[in-house]
Structure formats: structure tokens, C-alpha cells
A and B are shown apart, each in its own frame.
Chain A
Amino acid sequence: MIALLFILLIPFAAAGLALIHQGLGRSRSSAHTLLATLCAIAIAAVVFLAVGCSWAGHAGGAAHVLHGFDWLGAEPFMGQGLYAKPGSARETLVLCFQLFAVGLAAMIPISTGSDRWRMTAIGAWSVVAAGLIYPLLSHWIWGGGWLATRLPELGLPGFVDAGGAGAIQVLGGLGALSVGWVLGPRRGKYTQGMATAIPGHNIVLVHFGCLLALVGWFGLEGAASLLFYNIAPERLVWVAINCLLGASSALLFAVVATRLRYRKTDSSISANGWVAGLVAVSAGGAWFSPGQAIFVGLMAGGLVTFLVEIFELWLMVDDPGGAISVHGAAGLWGLVAFGLLAPPAGSHLLAQLVGVATLLGLGLPLVHGLNMLIDRFVPYRVDMDGDWQGMDIRELGSGAYPEFVIHTDEFVPR
């Protein structure tokens, strides 16, 4: 039951990410961001229980088979198979973990869609993510699907994602990229050929969110390692140590790199570095040595520091919370790093590269195609008034800080 204790820490990851997302957005959309996060988690949990858990399946469970490829689970809907089955404690714990994990995957793109993504559209995305995309990836990686079980038949070790770097973080990051493309930038972000900096409104909450996320990641990684890879309980302490080391080294890299680059430390990029370290190490925290965790974290911090700028300035993707780099890029790096570093060194690399090729090559077209399809029926972007008023007033009818903040539209061209 130690896994249950770890599972119960996962909401701290959601709370931390939610605070980071709303803090890095504008004050006039902060209540909307937090409520949208809650709605995404709620919708994801209900939809996953209704249909997703059937398709995610579990190792040894029933599966759809396509020419030898175990590609989708085929358990009874509404978790009935587990509810009625005695002695299924482990599978029930897996379901409990998945209910929290799917919410995390669904909420990550809210960071990118901050200030302009409509609540109804966020709900529609959550339905699709929890009902189709996450179960598919989860089954392949954790549910006894082909990435975990068929690769050994081809002479490779199974693809390993010990803490959700692939199934949760990369999915969230790819969703964020797709949402950023579909929504387009916030009004006033790109004017006169230049990207305008739109700073986050509450960096204090962002840093508090980082600390909460650390606790949540202990749970996320510990529970996943226990449930899907049967690590010995004494390895759990290494999960905690490596989480902290990865986050710390990524943060320090971001602090130093931004100080050298801009002469002042960039608070928001440093916070993003912290989370990127957590994401990258979560690919295999129980197997990394402390030195390897520091290396993985340093690289993740470097990736985020430079990719945030590349996405914003070169690719013109407006990502207020940096979710594409933090969750997508750092997650992919973590998976590759596991292949490079996990003992025996290099033995997992080919399997991890195949997993990365699958996540990217199948995941992004699927996620983006579905986002474009949803956008046809439930328009993603708020109307012009919403852009001017902020999402709090437009969709909720009142602001998050009605007595304390006086807005000026300094980022909107007059």
C-alpha cells in the first residue's frame, strides 16, 4: 500500500503546475486558468474512468490485437472489471494512479493557451485527451502494450518510462505545442516585427508552485516506478534524491545561463528550469545515479533556457508558461537520457529512441489533428472582446483580484 501514499502526493504536482501556469499568465486571466485546470482534471478523471481505463488496460489484461501488436486495451467500460473483481488491489492502484496522471496530462496545455483559450474548448480537449490519446499511449507504455512487451520479442529491451516523462509530460507538451499553433499568439505579443515580453503577473506563486511540484513529483515517479516496474521499496529514496538533484541542477543551470545572457537572472525561466529538471529525471529516477541525475537536470535546464527563446522569437509560438519546452522537450530528453545512462549503459538506447520516434511521429500528428478537428466544432480562441477584457471577465464575469489590481493595457497596441 506504499504505492497509495505516493499516489496521494500526485495532486501536489497538479497544484504546483496550476500555480506556475496562472502566475506566468496575466492577472486578468488567473482565476480562469485555475478554474480551467480544475475542470480539466475533473473531466479527465470522469472520462478516463468511463472509457479511458478500458483502453489503457493493464499488464496481462485483455487487449485488442492487430497482427501481433497489442495496440489498445479492451477492459470493460466504467472500470467494471476492476470493481467486480476480488483481489485486484494492484490493478485498482494502477487505476487510481492513472486517474491522477491523466489530469496532469490534460492540464499542461492550459499553460500555453493562457489568456485566450476558451473554457469549453479546454473541456473538449480534456475529453479527447483522457478518452483517447492518453489511454493509447498509456497502454503502449504501461498497460502491457507493444512498446513495453513487443520490443523484447524483436531483441530489444522494453521501452521504459518510469515516472511519466513520456505518457504524461510529452503528451502534455505536444498538446501544448498544438494548442499554441491552433490558438495563435495573444494580442499584442508580436508587434512591429518584434516579440513583446509579457511578464507573468505573480512570480511568487510560480516559485511556490515549483516547491509543490517537487513533492508531487516524488509521488508521481515513486508510484509509477512501484506500480509499473516493481522497483524495490528501498529504491524509492533514490527517486526522491534524484528528483531533487535533477530539479536543482536544472534550476542552477537556468539561473547561471540567464544571468550570463541577460545580466540579470530570469525568474520565470529559472522556475521553468526547475520543472524541466523534474520532468527529465522522471524518465528513470529510480535507476539514475546521483551524478547522472545532475547531468540529466543540467541538460534539461539548458534545453529550456534556449528553447523558450527559440519558440518565442524564431518560431513565433506564444507559450506564456513555457510548457512546450518544459514538458515536451525535457520529457523527450529524459527518455533518451535513460537510454544513454541507465545500467547497463547504452543497452536501452535503441528501445528508447523507438519510443521517442513513436511519441513524436504518431503523437504529434494525432494530437494536432484532433485539436484542429475540435477547433472546427468548439472554437478554441476567445473573441476579440475576450482578448481585451481578459478571460476572467469574459468567461467568469469577475476578476481574480477585484480589489487590488488596476489594469492597464500596456501590452495591447492603442
Chain B
Amino acid sequence: MRVVGCLLMLSGCSIALASLALLHAQGQRYAFVMAALTVEALGLWLLAQSYRGVQLAAKDKR
């Protein structure tokens, strides 16, 4: 899950940069950059959940 989270964050960044290079209309750029940020947020959430899972498992062990 951690690797997927990190990859999603990198993908989000790539989408943002690609939108600037490939699109010219401001509206389209905004839409893609917002989509990129959403993808990054999803990646961040996955990363956070994976570490939360580690804590919960440690707590159960205790």
C-alpha cells in the first residue's frame, strides 16, 4: 500500500506537469491540475492508512 501511495503521488505530479505541456486552455489546465491534486490526496491517504494499520496491529499485539 505504501508503494502504491507513493506511486499515486508521483502520478499526480506527472499529471499536473503534463497538463501544462499538453493543454493550452486555462479551464482544461485547471481541471487537470485539480485532478492531479486529487490523485495525490488519494496517494497520501493510502500512505497514511498503511501506517495507521501498522499502529493498530501493534496496539492489538499489546
Which residues does A use to contact B, with CB under 8 Å?
151, 154-156, 181, 184-185, 190-191, 193, 314-317, 350, 353-354, 356-358, 360-362, 364-365, 368-369
Contacts and interface: CB of A to CB of B under 8 A. Distances in A.
B13 A190 contact: no
Nearest to A355: B16
A365 B58 contact: no
A193 B20 contact: no
Given A191-B62, A365-B9, A357 B37 contact: yes
Contacts of A350: 26, 29-30, 33
A353 B9 contact: no
A185 B16 contact: no
Given A155-B24, A353-B34, A354-B16, A360 B40 contact: yes
A8 to B, nearest CB: 36
A200 B55 CA distance: 23
Interface size class of B (residues with CB under 8 A): 20 to 34
Contact of B48 (A315, A353, A354): A315
A362 B26 contact: no
A316 B30 CA distance: 33
Given A353-B16, A360-B37, 12 more contacts: A185-B55, A190-B55, A191-B59, A317-B48, A317-B51, A353-B37, A354-B20, A357-B16, A360-B9, A360-B13, A361-B13, A364-B47
Contact of A316 (B20, B24, B55): B55
Contacts of B1: none
Nearest to A353: B33
A55 B48 CA distance: 31
